[in-house]
Amino acid sequence: ETEKEKEKEKEKEEGERVVRVLTPPSYSSPSRNPPLTHHQRCGSVPNLNTMMDEDGKEGERKDDIPATQNASYLRFFWEQQIQIQKEKEEQQKAAAAAMSAKSHDLTAEGKFTRFQRSTKQKTDLKAENASLIEQTKLLQAKIQEQNHIIFQQQKEIEELKKQLASQSKNEKQDE
pLDDT tens-place string over residues 102-114: 777 766 666 777 7
Q: How far apart are CA 136 and CA 142, in angstroms?
A: 10
Most confident of 40-49, 57-66, 121-130: 121-130
Report pLDDT for 27: 47
Q: How many residues does the chain have?
A: 175
Q: What is the dihedral of CA 21, 26, 31, 32, to 10 degrees?
A: -10
Residue 145 scores a pLDDT above 60: yes
What is the number of other CB atoms lying within 10 angstroms of the CB of residue 6?
10
Residue 62 scores a pLDDT above 80: no
Is pTM beyond 0.75? Reply is no
Report pLDDT for 77: 83
Most confident of 35-44, 64-73, 116-125: 116-125
Mean model confidence pLDDT for the chain: 75
Nearest to 48 by CA among 77, 70, 78: 70
Buried b (16+ CB within 10 A) or exposed e, 36-75: eeeeeeeeeeeeebeeeeeeeeeeeeeeeeeeeeeeeeee
60 φ, ψ to 5°? -85, 130
Q: How far apart are CA 67 and CA 57, in angstroms?
A: 19
